Structure 1
Amino acid sequence: MKIGYRTIKTAIGTPIAIWIAQLLGVTNFVSAGILTILCIQPSRKQSFLSAWNRFLACIIASILSILFFHYIGYHPAVVGLLLAIFIPITVYLNITQGIATSSVIILNLYGAHYLDYDFLVDQFLLIIIGIGTGLLLNLYMPSLDKKLKEKQRELEENFQSVLYEIALYVRNRNIVWDGNEITRIEQLLVEAADLVERDKENHILRNKHPYRDYFRMRSRQFELLQRMLPLVTKLPKKDSITEKIASFFEGLSKAVHPGNTAIIYLEELEQLRKDFDREDLPCSREEFETRANLFRLLHDIEDYLLLKKRFKESDVRPKRRTSKEA
């Protein structure tokens, strides 16, 4: 069983908050630990927003508690009436995160059955200690780079498998493939997007994220891969063009990596198009439909490669064309 960093922060922060409250002689010092537990968040941005929302909600709850308990009295029904008014206020101000935290303060004030200056200062100190301890602990957030790199590696491995399976199908009409890689790619893209958002919230002043554009590019490529799959099933069973397409997909499967060598395969694709144009014109409807599907497939492959080409600078130089090639 793996212990998460939020669990560790909670285990460290709770006793620290209680200890500080005890040192300062605050009554209901255990409440400081409760406030800290409620304030531990998964990212720095959420921590700052949560701390502000909880602090503001606690101040409003304290003011309402003073008014209700002083002028109406200490009765369970008054607590219910107070919450019935307080909760809609938090919803209106969009600070609902502070409801649980503020409830601790409300119940402390109700349990005391008296209000004086010293006790109100105690409650204010509880708010500062509890929320402040949670905020300070949340300033440290472990790097997600390792997890993002792992998602990148696994995603590329699954892309390689899909492209290789396409090559096998085009060449041998292999239908053994169960397509699990497709489902896994979908999961990885969702998980990676969540990690990127969390990491962005941990770097509040950074506008761009190095992995965000990468996973977006792969997501668009995945859409194109899904469009290619039904097209490859409609290619002719065996001829020179389909063999070249199979070899192309096989080579492409070996070139899925963080770098950019798309220009090489765009040049190969251009040659495939020239070979395609040299073929005899279709003589039947079936041949015409096959030719149309092949044209669409080549177009989708080009879009797939262009996405990578635009994503980052090429790692290789394009070949110089001779006058004959031009």
Structure 2
Amino acid sequence: MKIGLRTIKTALSAALSMILASALGLLNPASAGIISVLSVTPTKKTSLLTGIYRLFSLALATAVAFICFQILGFTPWGFGVYLLLFIPVAVALKLSDGIVVSSVLVTHYLIEKQMSWELIGNEFMLMIIGVGMALLLNMYMPDVEKRLKEDQEIIEAVFRKILQDMAFYLNETKKERSLFDRCNQLKSLIKEGQDWAKNHAENQLLSKDNYYLDYFTMRKMQSVILKDMLKLLEKVKVEAEQVKSIKELLAYTSLTFAEDNDGRQILDQIAGVYETYREKPLPKTREEFENRAQLFQFLQLFQSFIEIKEEFVKEHLRQGQEEG
């Protein structure tokens, strides 16, 4: 049986919350532990937001409960009407995450049959201790940047292999169908990387670091275009001389495909290939025209594939300059 880090933090924060609440002489100290259990989330940011929203939720719950208990008394009917009013208002104010926790604390007013300032302060202290301890324990998060860099390297290696095989199989009679399977594998790898990148971004409380999220989004867009290129690859059937320059372009891209390559040099080469095709004689038959059109479309997709990376590099250079 494996005990994860989050489980350890949950158990520790609950125990410490109850100990602290007891040491301060608060009523119902176990509630602080339960609140803490419900407030340990996967990231620092979600823990902080959860804590803030629950405090607002408790303030709203206390106000609604005060009105209901004053009119109907500290009775089950009073609590029922409180729920009828509190739940829809909390949902409308996007405080639904705190409905259960706040309502549990409101039952303490019901049990004590009073809503003195001292008791209200007791409930707020239980909430503050519970969410505060969860946030404190959540301040420790394992560094996933190493994992993100490893994911980048794996994804780029798969991209390189697909581009290399595309160069080899372009205009060949035998097409490599496994390239489509590799594209699906690429999609899964990118999705996994995006999930890790999201956690990494949400654990940066004092800085906004979306580089890895943007990186994997960029690679996802490229993977979609890559699959469209593969679909055209199956249809391209022209003379070997006509696809020579594109083969060379794909081969060169597979060798230079990397995180720090801005794609500018490849785009210059694409412009050269366009010029080469403009100088070729016009197609003489309908079949030649259709094949040339498919080849031209393939080249356009490839240009978009590289432009996505170029735009990503420009955007992050611009952000770096603004921060500097």
TM-score for both structures, normalised by structure 2: 0.83
The residue that corresponds to 1:300 in the other structure is: 301
Contact residue 32 and residue 126 of structure 1 kept, 8 A: yes
* Contact map agreement 1:32 1:130 (CA 8 A) in 2: yes
Q: CA deviation at 1:116?
A: 5.1
Within-5 A mapping of 1:252-271: 252-260=253-261, 262-271=263-272
SS of the residue 1:312 aligns to = helix
Aligned to 2:94: 94
Residue ranges of structure 1 left out of the alignment (5+ in a row): 314-326
Matches within 5 A, 1:103-114: 103-113=103-113
Amino acid at match of 1:98: G
Give the equivalent residue in structure 2 for 1:322.
none
- Cα distance change on mapping 1:294 and 1:69 into 2, 3 Å: same
Contact 1:196 1:212 in 2 (8 A): yes
Q: For residues 134-189 of structure 1, give each alpha carbon's deviation from its aligned partner in whole angstroms, at most 9, with x where no partner exists.
A: 23233344333223223322321221232233234324523441622222333333
Contact 2:201 2:213 in 1 (8 A): no
Whether the 8 Å CA contact 2:180–2:227 is kept in 1: the answer is no
Q: Which amino acid aligns with 1:65?
A: A
C-alpha contact (below 8 Å) 1:200/1:209 kept by paired residues: yes
Work out the CA distance in 1 between the residues paired with 2:113 and 2:264. Answer: 77
Q: Deviations over 1:60-91 (max 9, x none)?
A: 32343344345523433332221111112212
Equivalent residue number for residue 313 of structure 2: 312
Closer, same or farther: CA 183–54 of 1 in aligned 2, 3 Å: same
Aligned CA RMSD, in angstroms, stands at 2.9
Change (3 A) 1:228 1:132: same
Partner of 1:166: 166
**Structure 1 residue 288, shift from structure 2 partner:** 1.0
d(CA) in 1 for partners of 2:146, 2:2:
17
More helix, by proportion: 2
Counterpart in the other structure of 1:289: 290
Q: Which residue of 1 aligns with 2:23?
A: 23
Which residue does the alignment assign to 2:137? 137
- Work out whether residues 238 and 292 of structure 2, in 8 Å CA contact, stay in contact via their aligned partners in 1: no
1:316 alignment partner in structure 2: none
- What is the number of residues matched between the two proteins? 313
How far apart are residue 275 of structure 1 and its match?
A: 4.6
Deviations 1:97-155 (A, max 9, x none): 21121022022232344555654443332122212212323334433322322332232
Q: TM-score, normalised by structure 1?
A: 0.82
Judge conservation of contact 1:255–1:261 (CA < 8 Å) in 2.
no
Name the aligned partner's letter for residue 212 of structure 2.
Y
Q: Give secondary structure in 1 for the equivalent of 2:96.
A: coil
Alignment match, 1:41: 41
Alignment of 1:216-231 (within 5 A): 216-231=217-232
SS in structure 2 at match of 1:179: helix
1:6 corresponding residue in structure 2: 6
Does residue 233 (structure 1) correspond to residue 205 (structure 2)? The answer is: no
- Conservation of the 8 A alpha-carbon contact between 1:10 and 1:36: yes
CA distance in 2, matches of 1:188, 1:136: 32
Give, in whole Å, the separation in 2 of the partners of 1:119 and 1:244.
79
**1:282 maps to amino acid:** P
Q: Say if 1:173 and 1:237, in contact at 8 Å, map to a contact too.
A: no
Aligned to 2:186: 185
Give me the whole-angstrom Cα distance separating, in 1, the residues matched to 2:75 and 2:240: 88
- For residues 16 and 298 of structure 1, the distance between their equivalents in structure 2, rounded to whole angstroms, comes to 62
Q: Deviations over 1:210-267 (max 9, x none)?
A: 2243233323322322331222222226522334533432342233221217344345
Indicate how the Cα distance of structure 1 residues 121 and 280 shifts in structure 2: closer, same or farther if over 3 A, else same.
closer
Change (3 A) 1:122 1:295: closer
Name the aligned partner's letter for residue 25 of structure 1. Answer: G
Q: Structure 2, unaligned stretches of length 5 or more?
A: 315-324
Identity of aligned residues (%): 32
C-alpha displacement of 1:271:
4.8
Aligned to 1:199: 200
Once the two structures are superposed, the pairs formed by residues 137-156 of structure 1 within 5 Å of their partners are 137-156=137-156
Q: Distance in 1 between matches of 2:158 and 2:2?
A: 26
